[in-house]
Structure 1
Amino acid sequence: MMDEAVRIRLRDIRDNARRALDFLGDRAAEDLEADPLHAYAILHAVQIVGEAAGRVPAEVRDAAPSIAWRASVAMRNILVHDYSFVSKAILVDTVRGDFPALIEEVQRLLGEDQT
C-alpha cells in the first residue's frame, strides 16, 4: 500500500497537470505573450508538477519509468531559477505534448479508473 504522503504528491501532479491543460486550452505560445494571466497560471501549475515529482520516492518513480521524473524536476528548476529565459513555446509543448500521458500514468499509480 502506498503511503498517504506519496499519494498526496501524486494527486498534486495529476491535478496541476490537468489545471495546466485547462488553463492552456487551445492557446498557442503567441497567445500567452499577450495573456500574462494564463501564462502565469500555466507556469505555476508546471512548477507544482515538478516540485511534487521531486518528492516522489525512488521506488514509486521506478514503478513508472515512462514518466520523465528528472525532466519534470529540471523544468521546475528552470521555471523557478531562470524564469526570465522561459520560452512560452517550450511551456506549451511540454503541457500539450507531455501532460496527457503524465496524467494517465499517475492515475495508474494511484489505482484510478482512467476512463
Structure 2
Amino acid sequence: MAARALIPRLTDIVEAIERIRDVLANTPIDAFEADWQRQWLVERGIEIISEASRHLTDELKARHPEIPWQKVAGIGNVLRHDYESIAAPILWKLARDDLPALEQVCRQELKAAEEP
C-alpha cells in the first residue's frame, strides 16, 4: 500500500483525537463522569480511532512499536460489545494519557506521506 493511501485513515485518527481533546478541554474528571454526552462523544472518537488503526499497514506499525497497536484496535471491540464495562475514568485516562503519543505518530506519518 502506498503511503498516500494511508492519508485518509491517519487523518481520521488525528481528527478524532482533536475532537476528543476539544470535548475534554477544561473539563475536570468529576464533570466528565457526570456528563453522559461527553462520554458518548469520547467513546465515538475512540471507536473511529480503533477502526482507522486497523487499516494502517504492518510496516507503519512496525516503525512505531511504542504504540500498543493491538490495544488501539481492540478498544473498539470493547466499546461495541462490552460497553457496560467501560467506566468514565478509563476513557478519561485513555484520552489524556494515551492519545497524545498516537496523535504525534500519526502526524509524523501524515507529514511523510504528504511529501512528494
Shorter-chain TM-score category? 0.7 to 0.9
Deviates further, 43-52 or 53-62: 53-62
Classify 1:77/1:28 alpha carbon distance in 2 versus 1 (closer, same or farther; 3 Å): farther
Residue identity matched to 1:8 = P
Q: Which has the higher contact order (CA 8 A, sep 6+)?
A: 2
Residue matched to 1:107: 107
Distance 2:33 2:89 in 1: 10
Shift of 1:26: 2.8
Shift of 1:50: 0.6
The answer to whether the 8 A contact 1:29-1:89 is kept is yes
Residue matched to 1:97: 97
Q: Structure 1 vs Structure 2: percent identity of aligned residues? A: 27
Distance 2:57 2:28 in 1: 34
Residue identity matched to 1:12 = D
Residue matched to 1:77: 77
Distance 2:68 2:15 in 1: 17
Describe the superposition over 1:4-61 as per-residue Cα deviations: whole angstroms up to 9, x where unpaired: 2x21111111110111111112323432332121111111001100111111121111
Give the TM-score, by structure 2 length: 0.86
Give the TM-score, by structure 1 length: 0.87
Distance 1:81 1:27 in 2: 27
Residue matched to 1:52: 52
RMSD of aligned residue pairs (Cα, Å): 1.5
The answer to whether the 8 A contact 1:30-1:88 is kept is no
